[in-house]
């Protein structure tokens, strides 16, 4: 499903002419940490609940314009753009504007997470593998090829961490046996950052460690 179908147009925004007391009341009736702010019928930005704590209740929001944050997502953006903005502004509510910067409604974080949870990457069965490799030697095509040559299927893949020297990629794999896939990646100089009960390499290391400990105790 596309996220645009879940835009909420029922949320009542606050107005710059509202008193701080009125805005606080609006937050008390809402589960959100931001609320959209309007001046008459024009979207001006969002106000955060925590910024109101020490303000004079009888003062108007218009007296504290410096607290209004201007962030939003345009209607043509993707799910990933939404998630980026939610994280970037530490909010659970995003204003949505059309191509002409006109307010259309809001997206709730819980709705976006539900949509993400229905994606094949999350919803399909499979094993999640976290791989690390030198940045200069990493290629998505190689990861996919190694998996597919073992008659497994890639459900999804994304870079979960990136440094100057290394790439960490999270891969979801549909397979019949994970051990062969893990050993193949090791032969191609990938580090396995995730833990897997079927990983015989990890079991061998444990056995060797146990043997060494017993030897040292003699």
Say whether pLDDT at 180 is over 70: yes
Do residues 155 and 174 touch, judged by C-beta distance below 8 A? yes
Measured from the Cβ of residue 216, the count of other Cβ atoms closer than 10 Å reads: 7
pLDDT range class, residue 208, cuts 50, 70, 90: very low
85-90 contacts, C-beta under 8 A, 24 or more apart: 86/112, 89/34, 90/33
Do residues 130 and 166 touch, judged by C-beta distance below 8 A? no
pLDDT tens-place string over residues 3-41: 999 999 999 999 999 999 999 999 999 999 999 999 999
Structural domains of the chain in order of their starting residue, each with its CATH number: 3-116 (3.10.580.10), 123-217 (3.30.70.1340)
pLDDT tens-place string over residues 191-205: 999 988 877 655 554
pLDDT tens-place string over residues 39-60: 999 999 999 999 999 999 999 9
State residue 211's pLDDT score.
Answer: 44
Cβ-based burial of 102 (10 A; exposed 0-12, middle 13-18, buried ≥19)? exposed
Q: Write the DSSP string, 18-43.
A: SBHHHHHHHHHT-S-SEEEEEETTEE
Say whether pLDDT at 175 is over 90: no
Say whether pLDDT at 206 is over 70: no
């Amino acid at each position: 499903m596309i996220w645009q179908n879940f835009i909420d147009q029922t949320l009542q925004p606050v107005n710059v002419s509202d008193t701080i007391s009125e805005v606080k009341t609006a937050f008390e009736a809402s589960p959100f940490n931001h609320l959209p702010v309007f001046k008459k019928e024009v979207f001006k930005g969002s106000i955060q609940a925590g910024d109101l704590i020490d303000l004079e209740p009888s003062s108007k929001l218009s007296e504290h314009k410096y607290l209004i944050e201007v962030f939003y997502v345009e209607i043509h953006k993707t799910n990933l753009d939404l998630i980026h903005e939610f994280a970037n502004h530490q909010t659970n509510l995003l204003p949505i504007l059309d191509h002409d910067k006109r307010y259309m409604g809001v997206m709730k974080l819980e709705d976006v997470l539900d949509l993400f949870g229905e994606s094949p990457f999350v919803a399909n069965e499979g094993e999640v593998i976290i791989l690390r490799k030198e940045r200069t030697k990493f290629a998505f095509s190689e990861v996919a090829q190694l998996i597919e040559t073992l008659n497994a299927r890639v459900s999804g893949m994304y870079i979960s961490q990136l440094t100057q020297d290394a790439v960490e990629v999270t891969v979801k794999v549909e397979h019949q046996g994970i051990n062969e896939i893990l050993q193949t990646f090791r032969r191609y100089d990938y580090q396995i950052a995730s833990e897997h009960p079927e990983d015989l390499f990890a079991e061998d290391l444990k056995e060797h460690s146990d043997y060494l400990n017993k030897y040292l105790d003699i």
